[in-house]
Amino acid sequence: MTALPDLSEMQIRRYARHIVLAEIGGIGQARLVAAKVLVVGAGGLGAPLLQYLAAAGIGTLGVIDHDTVDLSNLQRQVIHRTSDVGMSKVESARRALREINPEVTVIPHGERLTEANAPRIVAGYDLVADGSDNFATRYLLNDICYALKKTLVAAAILRFDGQISTYKAHQGAGHPCLRCLFPVAPSEDAVPSCAQAGVLGALAGTLGALQATEVVKEILGIGRSLSGRLVMYDALAASFDEMAIAKRPDCPTCGSSPGGSA
């Protein structure tokens, strides 16, 4: 096991409210400082997620996004500013995170995640947080994280609804993956995009903050994991619901039957 870094006096002051929590303490904060997290997408979910992870002291934050900042993004993608319109999202995010916490190393990946580059990029991190906006990327991440034994914290938002779960099927029984929940991706016509259907700006903050919480919990091994559970949030009803996710023996990614690959 890699030795944990000693916290400096400045870090002790910066993270004091974490350190006084019995579940975190100095050792837990040192684990956060030593952690490497990849955030996929610097958009609606990635914006609050990245800000809270940087503020929490995650030592290395990778962010992958091939897009540039558009004026329509600013309604919910709070990491970007009006002056950033036209700039690469990963560079805009790096600028913002440097201002929040200059101690954090931000690694920008200004490219689209593909089958060709995903194994190389994901391999360099301890944990992955998915804030992407399409099923192709979500399924690719699910499969790569399973193959590389990386925990995946994934969320999605549309209109006034959001959902979040943690996938770590590589840990075996009781831990399903995304394909256990959705074996086959819906057609593009079946699920509209945020551009087509709209999305409440503050909803991205709610789910992004929940993702940040789950990432920290997974790094520290505290609390109850969302693995095996899907939490759904209805902003209009101000309600949370929970659904159990069963591990499928015939899952095409993590199943153990002839239909699976494990």
Element (H, E) at 138: helix 135-148
Among candidate residues 180, 194, 251, 254, the one labeled active-site is: 194
- Burial of 225-246, coded b for 16+ CB within 10 Å and e otherwise, reads bbbbebbebebeeeeeeeeebe
196 Cβ contact list (under 8 Å, min separation 6): none
Residue 254 annotated as catalytic: no
Task: Give the separation between CA 57 and CA 174, rounded to whole angstroms.
Answer: 31
Sheet strands side by side (includes 161-167): 105-109, 60-64, 36-40, 127-130, 151-158, 161-167, 229-234, 239-244
Q: Please, what is the Cα angle at 24 between 32 and 209, to 5 degrees?
A: 65
**What residues are annotated to the active site?**
194
